[in-house]
Amino acid sequence: MAHPNSFQWVGSAPANVVWQRLGSDYVAYHRPSGKTHFLNAASQFLVAELLEGPLDTDSIVQAFQQDGASAADSDPAARSAIVELLDRLERLGLISRV
């Protein structure tokens, strides 16, 4: 059963984001806004996955589970942190809800 706050997410058009690795982090230049963003590896991985196609919040939470637990069984604090990351990436224009 889907969590009541589960949305579909998709990355910005691939041509809109230019990536550069900087050590263990990443720099993303977002062409439409003209802004550059520094992302850690988890954030970059998430944006890159969403550039491939939409995923729902539950699928994203489950992908971040270390033990393969379902999204319904996830730690509420972990789920909250992932949703916060999704919201932040959306505000930056790198992903959006569909």
What are the two backbone dihedrals, phi and then psi, of residue 33, each rounded to the nearest 5 degrees? -95, -20
Q: Is the pTM of this model over 0.85?
A: no
Alpha-carbon gap, residue 20 to 25, rounded angstroms: 9
Series of mean pLDDT values for 10-residue runs along the chain (98 residues)? 72 90 93 94 89 90 71 76 93 92
